[in-house]
Protein backbone atom coordinates (compact mmCIF):
# COMPACT_ATOMS: atom_id res chain seq x y z
CA UNK A 1 0.00 0.00 0.00
CA UNK A 2 1.36 3.42 -0.90
CA UNK A 3 1.04 6.50 1.26
CA UNK A 4 -2.07 8.51 0.41
CA UNK A 5 -1.71 11.82 -1.39
CA UNK A 6 -2.62 13.88 1.67
CA UNK A 7 0.10 12.23 3.79
CA UNK A 8 2.67 12.61 1.03
CA UNK A 9 1.69 16.25 0.47
CA UNK A 10 2.62 17.05 4.08
CA UNK A 11 6.23 16.04 3.45
CA UNK A 12 8.38 18.92 2.25
CA UNK A 13 10.56 18.67 -0.84
CA UNK A 14 13.82 18.79 1.16
CA UNK A 15 12.50 16.08 3.49
CA UNK A 16 11.60 13.87 0.49
CA UNK A 17 15.07 14.36 -0.96
CA UNK A 18 16.60 13.49 2.41
CA UNK A 19 14.51 10.31 2.70
CA UNK A 20 15.39 9.23 -0.82
CA UNK A 21 19.11 9.82 -0.38
CA UNK A 22 19.23 8.02 2.96
CA UNK A 23 17.48 5.06 1.39
CA UNK A 24 20.07 5.05 -1.39
CA UNK A 25 22.97 4.89 1.06
CA UNK A 26 26.09 6.84 1.98
CA UNK A 27 28.07 6.21 -1.20
CA UNK A 28 25.30 7.40 -3.50
CA UNK A 29 24.54 10.39 -1.28
CA UNK A 30 28.20 11.38 -1.24
CA UNK A 31 28.21 11.51 -5.05
CA UNK A 32 25.07 13.66 -5.00
CA UNK A 33 26.51 16.00 -2.37
CA UNK A 34 29.59 16.51 -4.53
CA UNK A 35 27.34 18.26 -7.07
CA UNK A 36 25.78 20.61 -4.48
CA UNK A 37 26.90 23.83 -2.85
CA UNK A 38 27.51 24.14 0.88
CA UNK A 39 24.12 25.74 1.59
CA UNK A 40 22.28 22.89 -0.14
CA UNK A 41 24.37 20.30 1.70
CA UNK A 42 23.65 22.01 5.01
CA UNK A 43 19.90 22.12 4.37
CA UNK A 44 19.72 18.46 3.33
CA UNK A 45 21.97 17.34 6.16
CA UNK A 46 19.66 19.06 8.63
CA UNK A 47 16.60 17.26 7.21
CA UNK A 48 18.45 13.92 7.33
CA UNK A 49 19.41 14.44 10.96
CA UNK A 50 15.71 14.64 11.93
CA UNK A 51 14.80 11.28 10.40
CA UNK A 52 14.67 8.20 12.67
CA UNK A 53 12.67 5.83 10.51
CA UNK A 54 11.11 5.55 7.08
CA UNK A 55 7.93 3.54 6.56
CA UNK A 56 7.80 1.39 3.41
CA UNK A 57 4.71 3.29 2.20
CA UNK A 58 6.40 6.68 2.37
CA UNK A 59 9.63 5.31 0.91
CA UNK A 60 7.78 3.73 -1.99
CA UNK A 61 5.76 6.85 -2.76
CA UNK A 62 8.79 9.11 -2.64
CA UNK A 63 10.93 6.73 -4.66
CA UNK A 64 8.22 6.57 -7.33
CA UNK A 65 8.50 10.32 -7.66
CA UNK A 66 12.27 10.08 -8.13
CA UNK A 67 12.84 6.88 -10.08
CA UNK A 68 9.48 5.41 -11.10
CA UNK A 69 9.45 2.32 -8.91
CA UNK A 70 10.69 1.03 -5.56
CA UNK A 71 9.54 -1.84 -3.33
CA UNK A 72 10.04 -1.64 0.43
CA UNK A 73 9.28 -4.52 2.80
CA UNK A 74 9.93 -3.20 6.26
CA UNK A 75 10.42 -0.05 8.23
CA UNK A 76 13.95 1.33 7.95
CA UNK A 77 15.62 2.30 11.21
CA UNK A 78 18.04 5.11 10.46
CA UNK A 79 21.20 6.07 12.32
CA UNK A 80 20.82 9.57 10.94
CA UNK A 81 23.61 11.24 12.92
CA UNK A 82 26.30 8.83 11.74
CA UNK A 83 24.89 8.83 8.19
CA UNK A 84 25.04 12.61 7.91
CA UNK A 85 28.45 12.82 9.55
CA UNK A 86 29.96 10.22 7.22
CA UNK A 87 28.50 11.76 4.06
CA UNK A 88 29.48 15.33 4.94
CA UNK A 89 32.98 14.28 5.94
CA UNK A 90 33.42 12.36 2.69
CA UNK A 91 32.23 15.28 0.61
CA UNK A 92 33.89 18.36 2.12
CA UNK A 93 37.27 19.35 3.45
CA UNK A 94 37.70 18.91 7.18
CA UNK A 95 37.23 22.55 8.23
CA UNK A 96 34.09 23.00 6.11
CA UNK A 97 32.67 19.66 7.24
CA UNK A 98 33.18 20.62 10.89
CA UNK A 99 31.47 23.99 10.31
CA UNK A 100 28.42 22.36 8.70
CA UNK A 101 28.12 19.69 11.39
CA UNK A 102 28.44 22.27 14.18
CA UNK A 103 25.81 24.45 12.52
CA UNK A 104 23.61 21.37 12.15
CA UNK A 105 23.79 20.64 15.86
CA UNK A 106 23.02 24.28 16.65
CA UNK A 107 19.96 24.27 14.36
CA UNK A 108 18.70 21.03 15.90
CA UNK A 109 18.97 22.55 19.37
CA UNK A 110 17.13 25.66 18.26
CA UNK A 111 14.06 23.92 16.82
CA UNK A 112 11.31 23.53 19.42
CA UNK A 113 8.88 20.62 19.44
CA UNK A 114 10.35 19.10 16.26
CA UNK A 115 10.07 15.71 17.98
CA UNK A 116 6.27 16.04 17.71
CA UNK A 117 6.46 14.65 14.15
CA UNK A 118 7.34 11.26 15.62
CA UNK A 119 4.57 11.13 18.23
CA UNK A 120 1.06 9.81 17.72
CA UNK A 121 -1.09 12.93 17.30
CA UNK A 122 -3.92 11.52 19.41
CA UNK A 123 -1.55 10.86 22.30
CA UNK A 124 0.04 14.28 21.90
CA UNK A 125 -3.34 16.03 21.83
CA UNK A 126 -4.39 14.18 24.98
CA UNK A 127 -1.50 15.73 26.89
CA UNK A 128 -1.80 19.19 25.34
CA UNK A 129 -5.53 19.62 25.98
CA UNK A 130 -5.00 19.56 29.74
CA UNK A 131 -2.74 22.63 29.64
CA UNK A 132 -3.79 26.25 30.22
CA UNK A 133 -5.14 27.84 26.99
CA UNK A 134 -2.17 30.21 26.83
CA UNK A 135 0.24 27.28 27.08
CA UNK A 136 -1.68 25.40 24.38
CA UNK A 137 -1.43 28.46 22.11
CA UNK A 138 2.31 28.68 22.69
CA UNK A 139 2.80 24.98 21.97
CA UNK A 140 0.76 25.06 18.75
CA UNK A 141 2.57 28.20 17.57
CA UNK A 142 5.90 26.39 17.88
CA UNK A 143 4.96 22.99 16.51
CA UNK A 144 5.09 22.19 12.77
CA UNK A 145 1.84 23.60 11.27
CA UNK A 146 0.59 20.20 10.06
CA UNK A 147 0.86 18.80 13.61
CA UNK A 148 -0.78 21.88 15.13
CA UNK A 149 -3.65 21.60 12.62
CA UNK A 150 -4.40 18.03 13.68
CA UNK A 151 -4.23 18.90 17.37
CA UNK A 152 -6.49 21.94 16.94
CA UNK A 153 -9.10 19.71 15.28
CA UNK A 154 -9.15 17.42 18.34
CA UNK A 155 -9.67 20.22 20.87
CA UNK A 156 -13.17 20.86 22.29
CA UNK A 157 -15.17 23.26 20.10
CA UNK A 158 -15.45 25.77 22.91
CA UNK A 159 -11.65 25.96 23.11
CA UNK A 160 -10.75 26.22 19.40
CA UNK A 161 -11.62 29.88 18.91
CA UNK A 162 -10.00 30.99 22.15
CA UNK A 163 -6.77 29.16 21.27
CA UNK A 164 -6.78 30.74 17.81
CA UNK A 165 -7.12 34.24 19.27
CA UNK A 166 -4.31 33.58 21.74
CA UNK A 167 -2.03 32.37 18.93
CA UNK A 168 -2.54 35.63 17.03
CA UNK A 169 -1.86 37.75 20.11
CA UNK A 170 1.07 35.64 21.29
CA UNK A 171 4.11 37.81 21.77
CA UNK A 172 7.77 36.84 21.74
CA UNK A 173 8.17 33.94 24.15
CA UNK A 174 11.17 33.71 26.44
CA UNK A 175 13.53 30.94 25.30
CA UNK A 176 13.66 29.69 28.88
CA UNK A 177 9.86 29.35 29.01
CA UNK A 178 9.75 27.51 25.69
CA UNK A 179 12.58 25.27 26.87
CA UNK A 180 10.75 24.35 30.07
CA UNK A 181 7.44 23.56 28.33
CA UNK A 182 9.19 21.67 25.55
CA UNK A 183 11.21 19.65 28.05
CA UNK A 184 8.22 18.83 30.26
CA UNK A 185 6.02 17.70 27.37
CA UNK A 186 8.88 15.84 25.71
CA UNK A 187 9.67 13.92 28.89
CA UNK A 188 6.04 12.96 29.37
CA UNK A 189 5.94 11.61 25.82
CA UNK A 190 9.49 10.22 25.79
CA UNK A 191 10.47 12.40 22.83
CA UNK A 192 13.69 14.28 22.23
CA UNK A 193 15.03 17.63 20.98
CA UNK A 194 15.75 21.16 22.11
CA UNK A 195 13.75 24.38 21.81
CA UNK A 196 13.92 27.89 20.50
CA UNK A 197 11.50 30.77 20.79
CA UNK A 198 9.25 32.65 18.40
CA UNK A 199 6.20 34.84 18.36
CA UNK A 200 2.72 33.83 17.28
CA UNK A 201 0.73 36.10 15.00
CA UNK A 202 -1.67 35.96 12.07
CA UNK A 203 0.67 34.04 9.77
CA UNK A 204 1.22 31.31 12.36
CA UNK A 205 -2.52 30.91 12.87
CA UNK A 206 -3.26 30.92 9.13
CA UNK A 207 -0.70 28.16 8.56
CA UNK A 208 -2.51 26.09 11.18
CA UNK A 209 -6.03 26.88 9.91
CA UNK A 210 -5.04 25.94 6.37
CA UNK A 211 -4.56 22.38 7.57
CA UNK A 212 -7.72 21.87 9.66
CA UNK A 213 -11.12 20.55 8.60
CA UNK A 214 -14.01 22.84 7.66
CA UNK A 215 -15.80 22.38 11.00
CA UNK A 216 -12.76 23.52 12.95
CA UNK A 217 -12.13 26.40 10.56
CA UNK A 218 -15.74 27.60 10.93
CA UNK A 219 -15.57 27.28 14.71
CA UNK A 220 -12.37 29.32 14.89
CA UNK A 221 -13.54 31.99 12.45
CA UNK A 222 -16.92 32.38 14.18
CA UNK A 223 -15.17 32.98 17.50
CA UNK A 224 -12.70 35.46 16.01
CA UNK A 225 -15.46 37.24 14.05
CA UNK A 226 -17.47 37.83 17.22
CA UNK A 227 -14.52 39.13 19.21
CA UNK A 228 -12.53 40.95 16.54
CA UNK A 229 -14.11 41.35 13.07
CA UNK A 230 -11.06 43.23 11.78
CA UNK A 231 -8.76 40.37 12.75
CA UNK A 232 -11.12 37.87 11.10
CA UNK A 233 -10.93 39.88 7.89
CA UNK A 234 -7.13 39.93 8.07
CA UNK A 235 -7.07 36.16 8.53
CA UNK A 236 -9.30 35.60 5.50
CA UNK A 237 -7.04 37.79 3.38
CA UNK A 238 -4.06 35.61 4.27
CA UNK A 239 -5.79 32.26 3.90
CA UNK A 240 -5.35 30.34 0.66
CA UNK A 241 -8.29 28.12 -0.24
CA UNK A 242 -9.04 25.64 -3.00
CA UNK A 243 -10.85 28.08 -5.29
CA UNK A 244 -7.86 30.47 -5.14
CA UNK A 245 -6.02 27.94 -7.31
CA UNK A 246 -8.09 29.14 -10.27
CA UNK A 247 -5.94 32.26 -10.33
CA UNK A 248 -2.47 30.66 -10.49
CA UNK A 249 -0.53 30.26 -13.72
CA UNK A 250 -0.87 27.12 -15.83
CA UNK A 251 2.67 25.90 -15.27
CA UNK A 252 2.15 25.98 -11.51
CA UNK A 253 -1.17 24.16 -11.85
CA UNK A 254 0.44 21.37 -13.86
CA UNK A 255 3.07 20.91 -11.18
CA UNK A 256 0.36 20.69 -8.51
CA UNK A 257 -1.68 18.18 -10.51
CA UNK A 258 1.34 15.86 -10.66
CA UNK A 259 1.09 15.47 -6.88
CA UNK A 260 -2.63 14.69 -6.73
CA UNK A 261 -4.16 11.24 -7.04
CA UNK A 262 -7.01 10.81 -9.53
CA UNK A 263 -9.65 9.87 -6.94
CA UNK A 264 -8.64 12.82 -4.78
CA UNK A 265 -8.99 15.22 -7.69
CA UNK A 266 -12.40 13.82 -8.59
CA UNK A 267 -13.68 14.40 -5.06
CA UNK A 268 -12.13 17.88 -4.95
CA UNK A 269 -13.99 18.93 -8.10
CA UNK A 270 -17.39 17.68 -6.88
CA UNK A 271 -18.39 21.15 -5.57
CA UNK A 272 -15.88 23.24 -7.54
CA UNK A 273 -16.92 26.30 -9.52
CA UNK A 274 -17.00 26.17 -13.32
CA UNK A 275 -13.93 28.44 -13.34
CA UNK A 276 -12.01 26.02 -11.15
CA UNK A 277 -13.05 23.01 -13.23
CA UNK A 278 -11.96 24.74 -16.41
CA UNK A 279 -8.61 25.55 -14.83
CA UNK A 280 -8.07 21.89 -13.98
CA UNK A 281 -9.24 20.45 -17.30
CA UNK A 282 -7.21 22.93 -19.34
CA UNK A 283 -4.05 21.68 -17.66
CA UNK A 284 -4.69 17.97 -18.12
CA UNK A 285 -4.00 15.93 -21.21
CA UNK A 286 -7.04 15.24 -23.39
CA UNK A 287 -7.18 11.62 -22.25
CA UNK A 288 -6.77 12.46 -18.56
CA UNK A 289 -9.42 15.17 -18.84
CA UNK A 290 -11.91 12.80 -20.44
CA UNK A 291 -11.30 10.19 -17.76
CA UNK A 292 -11.82 12.80 -15.03
CA UNK A 293 -15.07 13.99 -16.60
CA UNK A 294 -16.30 10.40 -16.83
CA UNK A 295 -15.46 9.84 -13.16
CA UNK A 296 -17.30 13.02 -12.17
CA UNK A 297 -20.36 12.05 -14.20
CA UNK A 298 -20.40 8.59 -12.67
CA UNK A 299 -19.91 9.81 -9.11
CA UNK A 300 -22.95 9.59 -6.92
CA UNK A 301 -23.65 11.55 -3.73
CA UNK A 302 -20.61 11.89 -1.47
CA UNK A 303 -20.11 13.33 1.99
CA UNK A 304 -19.24 17.02 2.01
CA UNK A 305 -16.50 16.28 4.54
CA UNK A 306 -14.78 14.00 2.00
CA UNK A 307 -14.93 16.71 -0.66
CA UNK A 308 -13.50 19.31 1.71
CA UNK A 309 -10.74 16.92 2.79
CA UNK A 310 -9.77 16.32 -0.85
CA UNK A 311 -9.74 20.06 -1.57
CA UNK A 312 -7.53 20.66 1.47
CA UNK A 313 -5.15 17.97 0.23
CA UNK A 314 -4.83 19.83 -3.08
CA UNK A 315 -4.15 23.10 -1.26
CA UNK A 316 -1.57 21.41 0.99
CA UNK A 317 0.20 20.03 -2.09
CA UNK A 318 0.22 23.51 -3.64
CA UNK A 319 1.61 25.13 -0.50
CA UNK A 320 4.26 22.40 -0.25
CA UNK A 321 5.42 23.19 -3.77
CA UNK A 322 5.41 26.89 -2.96
CA UNK A 323 7.56 26.24 0.12
CA UNK A 324 10.02 24.35 -2.11
CA UNK A 325 10.14 27.25 -4.54
CA UNK A 326 8.68 25.08 -7.31
CA UNK A 327 5.58 27.24 -7.80
CA UNK A 328 4.36 30.71 -6.84
CA UNK A 329 0.86 31.04 -5.45
CA UNK A 330 -0.90 34.38 -5.55
CA UNK A 331 -4.02 35.61 -3.88
CA UNK A 332 -5.64 38.81 -5.02
CA UNK A 333 -4.26 41.75 -6.95
CA UNK A 334 -1.55 42.43 -4.41
CA UNK A 335 0.15 39.17 -5.38
CA UNK A 336 0.17 39.60 -9.12
CA UNK A 337 3.69 39.47 -10.56
CA UNK A 338 4.55 42.03 -13.26
Q: Domain residues of the chain, as ranges?
A: 5-110, 115-238, 242-331
* Section 156-183 average pLDDT: 82
Of 44-58, 96-110, 112-126, 129-143, which one has max mean pLDDT? Answer: 129-143
Percentage of the chain modeled with pLDDT above 70: 78
Structure confidence by residue, pLDDT tens digits, 123-159:
777 778 878 888 888 888 888 787 888 888 888 888 8
pLDDT for residue 332 = 38
Are 52 and 45 in contact, with CB atoms under 8 Å apart?
Answer: no
69 conformational bin, left if phi > 0, alpha if psi -120 to 50, beta if neither? beta
What pLDDT does residue 72 have?
Answer: 39
Instruction: Name the class of domain 115-238.
Output: mainly alpha
- Tell me, what's the pLDDT at 71? 40
More confidently predicted of 210 and 331: 210
Please give the pLDDT value at position 2.
46
Segment 224-233 mean pLDDT = 83
pLDDT of residue 112: 62
pTM: 0.39
Arithmetic mean of pLDDT over the chain: 75
Across 58-62, 198-202, 248-252, least confident range: 198-202
Q: Per-residue DSSP letters for 149-210? A: HHHHHHS-HHHHHHHHHHHHH--PPPHHHHHHHHHHHHHHTT-----------HHHHHHHHT
Helices 145-154 and 202-209 sit at what angle, rounded to 10 degrees? 70
Q: Which of 179-193, 207-221, 257-271, 289-303 has the lowest mean pLDDT?
A: 179-193
Banded model confidence at residue 318, pLDDT cuts 50, 70, 90: confident
State the Cα–Cα distance between residues 307 and 310, nearest whole angstrom.
Answer: 5
What angle (nearest 5°) sits at the alpha carbon of residue 104, between those of residues 100 and 106? 120
Fold agreement between 115-238 and 242-331: yes
Q: Indicate if the pLDDT at residue 108 is higher than 60.
A: no
Residue pair 315/224 in contact (Cβ under 8 Å)? The answer is: no
**Residues 209-228 pLDDT 10s:** 877 777 788 888 888 888 88
Q: 242-331: which CATH number, 3.40.50.2300, 1.10.220.30, 3.50.50.60, 1.20.1740.10?
A: 1.10.220.30
Through-space distance between the first and last CA atoms of the chain, rounded to whole angstroms: 44
Looking at residues 96-118, what average pLDDT do you find? 67
Residue 41 has phi, psi (to 5 degrees) of: -65, -45
Q: What are the φ/ψ torsions at residue 54 (nearest 5 degrees)? A: -130, 120
Amino acid sequence: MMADGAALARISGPRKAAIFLMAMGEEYTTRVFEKMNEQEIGDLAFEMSLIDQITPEILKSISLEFVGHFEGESKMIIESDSFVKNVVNRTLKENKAIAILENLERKKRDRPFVWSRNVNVGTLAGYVVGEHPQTIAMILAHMPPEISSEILMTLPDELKGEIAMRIVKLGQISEDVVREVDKALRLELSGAVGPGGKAGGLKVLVDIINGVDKTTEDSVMEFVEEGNPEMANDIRKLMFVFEDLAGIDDMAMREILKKIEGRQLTYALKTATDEMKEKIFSNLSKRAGEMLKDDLDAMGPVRLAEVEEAQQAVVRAAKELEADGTVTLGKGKDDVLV
